[in-house]
């Protein structure tokens, strides 16, 4: 089978891809995504690095999003993305398109529909993204991570599969973040690709934080900001005057992510769907800083969900400064009222298999 995979959440796709490669090594996989995370960024995105490392052909799609404010230039970019996706799909001739939402997936699914190519899509959030609301009109099946998302989609199309999580978060396979002290660990990641704003505030907070914590920091690799180089230089200047150790990397890769999570006493991050799912699966305490401008305020909804289970507290971006950051971290670590069971970790491990079953079923129905 030829399968095109696309979407704004490549983390969801990775466990499914791993399962496909294991059980169906003869399938041909193709990826439509972004080679660069930001405009004018010269460095390859984590998405591009991880997908390319799996020897999957990567098509760098150039499109726009027009969900909030009408902008003629963005409309033209959407049409450009539609034409680009159409031309590539016409050459590949895939049997099926698997979408993981996000504005990148819209032109791929729409082009596929024009070419008679069946699509299924997966929704990661507790609500429903703008992109998947559009895609749902054309998709044969809508796969959901959470029961709460059912109300946003046609009931005859929905299947709750759960959110697939990478198996590597559950296993410690490295020894990269060992400190010669007994201080607790903070793992700050700002989402899978880092956050410039969090990088700036954490840099200012390091002298105080490193008096009582070790810090593991995934800062991203945006060439526009060069945060990694700035953080390394700053730490070298304060290293001799602090007790804690600071481990900063552009990305925490798959062979190290299990150790980072295992050592973390608290996680400081944005509150995307995958972040909260991993926090729930591992039952880790967290300080969540939602991105305020995402559609439907979904990051705040995600953060509030974890907060109500007793695992997290929320720090709004407008209140993010050094003093509030340190106070909130201290506060979260004093709490002891989690209501999370082991069930979510088990369900997340089954999600990739359920999605694969839906892919196979959709392909069989297409043939019939």
- Separation of alpha carbons 106 and 134, rounded Å: 7
Distance between CA 298 and CA 290 in Å, rounded? 9
Strand order of the β-sheet with 2-6 is: 58-60, 28-33, 2-6, 96-99, 118-123, 141-144, 158-160
Distances (CA, A) of 273 to 126, 156, 197, 305, 312: 8, 24, 19, 11, 14
Contact predicate 247/214, CB 8 Å: yes
State yes or no: 285 annotated in a binding site: no
Q: Is the dihedral of CA 229, 231, 237, 240 positive or negative?
A: negative
Find, among 164, 171, 130, the residue nearest to 293 by Cα.
130
Cβ–Cβ < 8 Å for 123, 300: no
CA distance 197 to 365: 47
| SS3 label, residue 335 | coil
* Residue in the structure block whose two tokens are 């959709």: 362
CA angle 329, 219, 192 (to 5 degrees): 85
φ/ψ bin of 69: left (φ > 0), alpha (ψ from -120 to 50), beta (otherwise):
beta
Torsion of CA 348, 193, 46, 226, to 10 degrees: -170
The response to whether 299 counts as a known ligand-binding position is yes
Report d(CA 56, CA 5) in Å as an integer.
10
Other CB atoms closer than 10 Å to residue 101's CB: what's the count?
27
d(CA 234, CA 261): 25
Which residues make up each annotated binding site for UDP-N-acetyl-alpha-D-glucosamine?
166, 299
Which residues make up each annotated binding site?
166, 299
């Amino acid at each position: 089978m030829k399968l095109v995979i696309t979407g704004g959440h490549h983390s969801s796709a990775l466990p499914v891809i791993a399962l496909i490669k294991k059980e169906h090594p003869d399938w041909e996989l193709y990826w439509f995504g972004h080679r660069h995370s930001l405009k004018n960024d010269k460095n390859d995105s984590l998405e591009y690095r991880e997908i390319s490392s799996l020897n999957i052909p990567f098509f760098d799609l150039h499109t726009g999003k027009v969900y909030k404010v009408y902008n003629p230039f963005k409309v033209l970019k959407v049409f450009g993305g539609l034409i680009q996706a159409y031309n590539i799909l016409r050459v590949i001739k895939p049997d099926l398109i698997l979408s993981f939402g996000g504005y990148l997936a819209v032109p791929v699914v729409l082009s596929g529909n024009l070419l008679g190519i069946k699509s299924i899509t997966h929704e990661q959030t507790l609500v429903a993204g703008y992109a998947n609301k559009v895609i749902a009109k054309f998709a044969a099946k809508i796969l959901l991570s959470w029961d709460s998302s059912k109300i946003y989609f046609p009931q005859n199309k929905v299947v709750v599969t759960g959110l697939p999580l990478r198996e590597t978060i559950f296993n410690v396979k490295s020894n990269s973040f060992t400190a010669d002290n007994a201080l607790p660990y903070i793992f700050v990641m700002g989402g899978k690709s880092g956050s410039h704003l969090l990088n700036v505030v954490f840099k200012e907070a390091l002298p105080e934080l490193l008096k009582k914590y070790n810090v593991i920091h995934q800062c991203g690799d945006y060439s526009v900001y060069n945060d990694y180089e700035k953080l390394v230089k700053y730490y070298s200047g304060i290293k001799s005057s602090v007790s804690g150790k600071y481990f900063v990397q552009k990305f925490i890769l798959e062979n190290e992510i299990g150790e980072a999570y295992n050592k973390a006493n608290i996680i400081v991050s944005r509150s995307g769907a995958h972040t909260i799912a991993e926090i729930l699966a591992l039952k880790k305490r967290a300080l969540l800083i939602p991105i305020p401008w995402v559609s439907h305020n979904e990051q705040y909804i995600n953060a509030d969900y974890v907060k109500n289970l007793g695992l997290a507290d929320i720090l709004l971006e407008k209140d993010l400064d050094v003093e509030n950051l340190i106070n909130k971290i201290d506060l979260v670590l004093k709490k002891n009222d989690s209501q999370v069971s082991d069930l979510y970790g088990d369900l997340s491990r089954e999600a990739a298999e359920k999605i694969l079953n839906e892919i196979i079923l959709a392909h069989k129905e297409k043939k019939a």
